[in-house]
């Protein structure tokens, strides 16, 4: 099913591509030139040139909690990643003070509910084909009685089937997002990709730039 988004917030000159994921009935939706050029450049400039707090990723996202690679020729590593948490459902009404930077892409998605929004910073890998680790972004069960999304991204918990993942790439590099279906989404600046949370995936490290930066958003979408 197609994800309903706020098309008025898209760049009028965007390019839309729907990719059927191999061996499944699922799709990935790609919006190139997603944001208007001036808005994207302002966002990118903030991440590059304005003091911004990046935090070392917690230990519970370490190599031991990732899944075995479903594909050949990918080496899993515990390569360091930094992130900035803009929002998590268990910290309701506690959005980061830097959220205005990313409002343009949040406005595109306009979901039923947010689960988590963060930015990722990964340093250069030492060789091609290095994986950050195969994972689901949101897994577990939904506790509707408590009106809470009690989900944890830990190995062994089933992925929540109703959530989707969106990634906005902030810079172009030869790293990419690899899906268990053997489909690859290249890191191209101002590209927005949306795919199902129930698809196992991983980041493949870049070797051509000092850093790879992106915004990762997990949400409950409207569908049509």
> Tell me: the pLDDT tens digits for 164-203?
999 999 999 999 999 999 999 999 999 999 999 999 999 9
Rounded Cα gap, residues 178 and 186, in angstroms = 9
| Domain that residue 150 falls in | 3-223
Segment among 140-144, 150-154, 159-163, 216-220 with least mean pLDDT: 150-154
| Average pLDDT in the chain | 87
Q: For residue 164, what are the CA distances in angstroms to 58, 193, 220, 223? A: 23, 10, 6, 11
pLDDT at residue number 137? 87
CATH of the domain at 104: 2.60.120.620
Rounded Cα gap, residues 46 and 175, in angstroms = 22
The predicted model gives 40-63 an average pLDDT of 84
Tokens for 134, please give them.
């195969």
Rounded Cα gap, residues 58 and 79, in angstroms = 13
The predicted model gives 116-137 an average pLDDT of 87
18 has pLDDT over 80: yes
- In percent, the amount of the chain with pLDDT more than 90 equals 64
Entry pTM = 0.90
Q: For residue 78, what are the CA distances in angstroms to 85, 184, 192? A: 20, 21, 26
Q: For residue 145, what are the CA distances in angstroms to 62, 150, 156, 201? A: 31, 11, 24, 30
First to last CA, the chain: 6
Count up the domains in the chain and report the number: 1
Name the CA radius of gyration of the chain, rounded: 16
The predicted model gives 77-100 an average pLDDT of 86
Q: Given the structure tokens 């009028």, which residue do they identify?
A: 12
pLDDT at residue number 58? 67
- The model's confidence at residue 134, banded by pLDDT at 50, 70 and 90, is confident
DSSP 62-123: SGGGSBPPSSSS-EE----EEEEEEEEGGGTT---TTGGGGHHHHHHH--SEEEEEEEEEEE
Rounded Cα gap, residues 5 and 30, in angstroms = 12
The predicted model gives 83-110 an average pLDDT of 92
The predicted model gives 49-65 an average pLDDT of 75
């Amino acid at each position: 099913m197609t994800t309903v988004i706020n098309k008025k917030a898209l760049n009028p000159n965007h390019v839309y591509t729907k990719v059927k994921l191999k061996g499944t009935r699922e799709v990935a939706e790609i919006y190139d030139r997603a944001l208007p050029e001036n808005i994207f450049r302002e966002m990118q400039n903030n991440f590059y040139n304005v003091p911004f707090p990046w935090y070392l990723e917690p230990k519970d996202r370490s190599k031991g909690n990732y899944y075995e690679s479903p594909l050949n020729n990918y080496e899993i590593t515990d390569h360091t990643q930094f992130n900035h948490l803009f929002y998590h459902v268990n910290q309701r009404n506690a959005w980061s003070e830097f959220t205005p930077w990313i409002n343009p892409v949040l406005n595109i998605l306009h979901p039923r509910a947010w689960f988590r929004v963060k930015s990722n910073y990964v340093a250069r890998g030492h060789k091609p084909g290095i994986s950050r680790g195969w994972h689901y972004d949101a897994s577990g069960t939904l506790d509707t009685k408590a009106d809470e999304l009690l989900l944890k991204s830990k190995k062994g918990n089933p992925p929540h089937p109703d959530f989707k993942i969106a990634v906005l790439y902030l810079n172009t590099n030869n790293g990419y997002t690899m899906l268990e279906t053997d489909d690859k989404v290249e890191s191209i600046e101002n590209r927005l990709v949306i795919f199902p949370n129930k698809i196992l995936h991983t980041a493949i490290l870049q070797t051509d730039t000092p850093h790879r930066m992106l915004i990762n958003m997990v949400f409950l979408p409207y569908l049509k």
